[in-house]
């Protein structure tokens, strides 16, 4: 269904993560019937449904086509922004510096947690070694130029992203925090699940790349009011979406931090069609959830102001503290 992006019709934006969120099963690409029907309803009614994922386009395309989507897609967490339904949309691609990436991967603390990794661009991939679980999600062998090994002598200098599989024992939050603190000037780091019972995935993209920025672009492109935005995700690479969107939703299987930031926490998981249940409920009564989103944002802003006020000290308090220290 084609539509005019300049339309005056009120449209809502549903920005959706794939793995652990829209997909009921990442390995097979299954979509819960409730989620499929609700998304198709939203598209039919003229709303914007955008996939924003850490996956590349080649493994996103089957989902996009099955759902009959027609809007902007953010791949590699936003390092590749494009619109498959609009040949006149100019894609945005953010590249990494290969030397800086190899420097990060050579860190002993990082290296000992890596079990496999891939370096890739929009049409090429070099993979350390074959892994069916990783390939089911990323579809490496579908790339135009696929190489099973990392050949540094024949590697483009500007990859769009690095994906590495961590060990089942890896402390995800600890490693993610370390990467951001140690190498935050070289890239953006995120982590997400490629499926239940499988080891976590980490990815590295260019500075400034995150899912939230894709949502900002989409809002402007389709002229959507900030209040009319819904974001649904489940893991750490989705955090930036909740800073931008008005209504934040978490499926039952989401990370605790995502639930904390969400306006609505679903009782259903991704396997039970959480995305579909929420989209139908939202479309039936959008103002209810939009107001809930506004209230949540106001509460967050109030808490920030309270923290700032609590951290402020008068001249008298500072002098009293100094005197107590001297005594």
Catalytic entry in 17, 165, 210, 238: 17
What pTM, to 2 d.p., does this model score? 0.86
Q: Using an 8 Å Cβ cutoff, are 211 and 55 in contact?
A: no
Q: Using an 8 Å Cβ cutoff, are 245 and 225 in contact?
A: no
Q: Which of 2-16, 77-91, 167-181 has the lowest mean pLDDT?
A: 2-16
Where does the chain hold its CATH 3.30.1240.10 domain(s)? Answer: 98-205
- State the residue for tokens 């009564």: 285
Q: Regarding the domain delimited by 98-205, which CATH topology (the fold level of the hierarchy) does it fall under? A: 3.30.1240
pLDDT band at 144 (very low <50, low <70, confident <90, very high): confident
> What's the CA gap between 116 and 118, in Å, rounded?
7
Average pLDDT over residues 90-113: 94
Q: What is the pLDDT of residue 141?
A: 75
Q: Using an 8 Å Cβ cutoff, are 105 and 117 in contact?
A: yes
> What's the CA gap between 79 and 210, in Å, rounded?
8
> What's the CA gap between 286 and 232, in Å, rounded?
15
Average pLDDT over residues 20-48: 96
> What's the CA gap between 77 and 54, in Å, rounded?
4
Cross-strand pairs, 231 = 15, 248
Where does the chain hold its CATH 3.40.50.1000 domain(s)? Answer: 13-93+209-289
Question: By C-alpha distance, which of 111, 128, 119 is closest to 179?
Answer: 111
Going by the DSSP 8-state scheme, the letter that residue 52 receives in this structure is B
Q: What is the pLDDT of residue 2?
A: 46
- State the residue for tokens 């609009």: 86
Q: Are strands 145-148 and 247-250 parallel, antiparallel or unpaired?
A: unpaired
The mean pLDDT of the chain is: 90
Q: Using an 8 Å Cβ cutoff, are 277 and 39 in contact?
A: no
What is the CA angle 226-54-205, rounded to 5?
Answer: 95
Cross-strand pairs, 307 = none
Whole-angstrom CA distances from 7 to 11, 12, 48, 138 are 9, 12, 12, 35
Is the pLDDT at 115 greater than 90, yes or no? yes
Is the pLDDT at 255 greater than 70, yes or no? yes
Which has the higher per-residue pLDDT, 143 or 48? 48
Number of other residues whose CB lies within 10 A of the CB of residue 325: 7
Is the pLDDT at 272 greater than 70, yes or no? yes
pLDDT band at 147 (very low <50, low <70, confident <90, very high): confident
Is the pLDDT at 64 greater than 50, yes or no? yes
Helix (H, G, I), strand (E, B) or coil at 95: coil
Is the pLDDT at 174 greater than 70, yes or no? yes
Quick one: tokens of 179? 């990467």
Which has the higher per-residue pLDDT, 192 or 254? 254
Which has the higher per-residue pLDDT, 1 or 314? 314
Q: What is the pLDDT of residue 152?
A: 78
Mean pLDDT comparison of 133-147, 272-286, 299-313, highest-scoring range: 272-286
* Catalytic site includes residue 285: no
Average pLDDT over residues 228-236: 97
Is CATH 3.40.50.1000 what the domain over 13-93+209-289 is classified as, yes or no? yes
In SS3 terms, 216-234 reads as HHHHHHHCCCHHHEEEECC
Number of other residues whose CB lies within 10 A of the CB of residue 186: 18
Q: What is the pLDDT of residue 306?
A: 58
Give the chain's radius of gyration (CA, Å): 21
Going by the DSSP 8-state scheme, the letter that residue 60 receives in this structure is T
Residue 102 φ/ψ, nearest 5 degrees: -65, -35
> What's the CA gap between 27 and 138, in Å, rounded?
10
Q: What is the pLDDT of residue 1?
A: 42
Q: What is the pLDDT of residue 131?
A: 87
């Amino acid at each position: 269904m084609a539509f005019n992006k300049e339309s005056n019709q009120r449209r809502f934006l549903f920005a959706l993560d794939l793995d652990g969120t829209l997909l009921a099963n990442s390995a097979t690409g299954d979509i819960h019937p409730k989620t499929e029907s609700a998304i198709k309803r939203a598209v039919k009614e003229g709303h914007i449904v955008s996939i924003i994922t850490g996956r590349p386009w080649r493994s996103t395309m089957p989902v996009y086509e099955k759902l009959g989507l027609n809007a902007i897609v953010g791949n590699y967490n936003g390092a590749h922004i494009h619109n498959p339904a609009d040949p006149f949309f100019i894609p945005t691609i953010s590249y990494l510096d290969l030397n800086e990436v190899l420097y990060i991967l050579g860190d002993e603390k990082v290296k000992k947690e890596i079990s496999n990794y891939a370096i890739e661009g929009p049409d090429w991939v070099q993979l350390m070694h074959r892994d069916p679980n990783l390939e089911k999600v990323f579809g490496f062998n579908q790339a135009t130029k696929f190489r099973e090994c990392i050949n540094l002598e024949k590697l483009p200098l500007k990859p769009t992203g690095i994906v590495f599989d961590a060990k089942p024992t890896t402390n995800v939050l600890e490693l993610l925090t370390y990467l951001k603190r140690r190498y935050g000037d070289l890239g953006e780091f995120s982590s997400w699940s490629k499926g239940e019972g499988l080891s976590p995935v980490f990815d590295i993209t260019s500075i400034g790349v995150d899912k939230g920025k894709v949502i900002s672009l989409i809002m402007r492109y389709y002229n959507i009011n900030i209040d009319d935005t819904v974001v649904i995700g489940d893991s750490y690479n989705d955090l930036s979406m909740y800073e931008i969107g008005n209504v934040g939703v978490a499926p039952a299987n989401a990370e605790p931090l995502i639930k904390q930031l969400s306006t609505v926490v679903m009782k259903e998981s991704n396997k039970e069609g959480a995305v579909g249940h929420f989209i139908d409920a939202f479309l039936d009564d959008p103002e209810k959830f939009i107001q809930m989103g506004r209230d949540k944002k106001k509460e967050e802003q109030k808490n920030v102001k309270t923290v700032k006020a609590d951290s402020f000290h008068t001249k008298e308090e500072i002098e009293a503290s100094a005197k107590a220290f001297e005594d």
